[in-house]
Homo-oligomer: A and B are copies of this chain.
Amino acid sequence: MRSSELPQVKALGLFETMSDQSFERLMQAAYLQTFPAHLTLIHEGVTADFLYVLVEGAVELYAAANGREETMAVVRPVETFILAAVLKDAVYLMAARTIARSRILLVPAADVRLAFEEDAAFARAIVSELATRYRGVVKEHKNIKLRSSVERLANRLIRYEAEQGGHGVLELPYEKRILASLLGMTPENLSRALRTLKPYGVLVSGSTIRLTDRKALETLAKPSAFIDVDAS
């Protein structure tokens, strides 16, 4: 694999500390591929053959049961996904599909496990990454169990606004129906929840949202470092 995206991949927390040699070898086994939007990349229950690195685009991780389907997470570039299944040589617990046209690096699972054995720095990075992801899911789980849907939405808006520069404006990074599912609600309810937030200074115009009263919104949302913050 040769490409201009390589430096971005190497810059990822997971890869940046590993030796250049190991990284080189790992990348030689990898494929960079472009997928159209709305293509299913991974099916639930299939053995994990690749570690995926999303270089460009957007990918939705989802799960289905009982005829229902819910979005579990949305992956944005540059980020890896389904690391745990690869390490355990197990079956994917979530399915994945592209939201938009995406450039994705596919690293064979066996090579990842080999590099883990041979490069101590990579092993350390993997542990750090896994622990962070673990904590991320725990936070998401707390989010669902402890907050109402309006509170979840409010906190999500606050987070997006901060990620996008903190200028009081935010752009929803994907369709509202996906956001709704991610927040554990129906599209209809997301629509209503946004209107509920209007008195708290949330002005919606399509996928652009302005927050004009942070104080009020935060009073409602009660953001918490133990639920909302991404890092560590």
Contact = CB atoms under 8 A, between A and B. Distances in A.
Interface of A: 44-45, 63-66, 68, 70, 72, 83-85, 87-88, 90-91, 93-94, 116-117, 120, 123-124, 126-128, 130-135, 137-142, 144-147, 151, 184, 222, 224-227, 232
Given A44-B226, A141-B140, A144-B141, A131 B88 contact: yes
A137 B135 CA distance: 9
A151 B66 CA distance: 10
B66 A127 contact: no
A224 B140 CA distance: 22
Given A84-B131, A127-B116, A138 B93 contact: yes
A187 to B, nearest CB: 16
Query: Chain A at the B interface: mostly helix, strand, loop or mixed?
Result: helix
Contacts of A117: 124
Given A45-B226, A70-B145, A141-B144, A134 B84 contact: yes
Given A127-B123, A131-B88, A151-B66, A145 B45 contact: no
Given A66-B146, A141-B144, 14 more contacts: A63-B142, A65-B142, A72-B138, A72-B145, A87-B131, A88-B131, A91-B226, A93-B135, A93-B139, A123-B127, A126-B127, A130-B131, A137-B137, A145-B184
Contacts of A116: 127
19 contacts: A45-B226, A63-B146, A63-B226, A65-B147, A65-B222, A66-B222, A68-B146, A72-B138, A84-B134, A87-B127, A87-B128, A93-B139, A93-B226, A117-B124, A133-B134, A137-B138, A137-B141, A140-B141, A144-B145
Nearest to A64: B146
A64, A93, A227 — most chain B CB neighbours (10 Å): A93
Contact of A72 (B68, B127, B130, B141): B141
B135 A90 contact: yes
A64, A123, A227 — most chain B CB neighbours (10 Å): A123
A139 B117 CA distance: 27
Contacts of A137: 134, 137-138, 141
A141 to B, nearest CB: 5
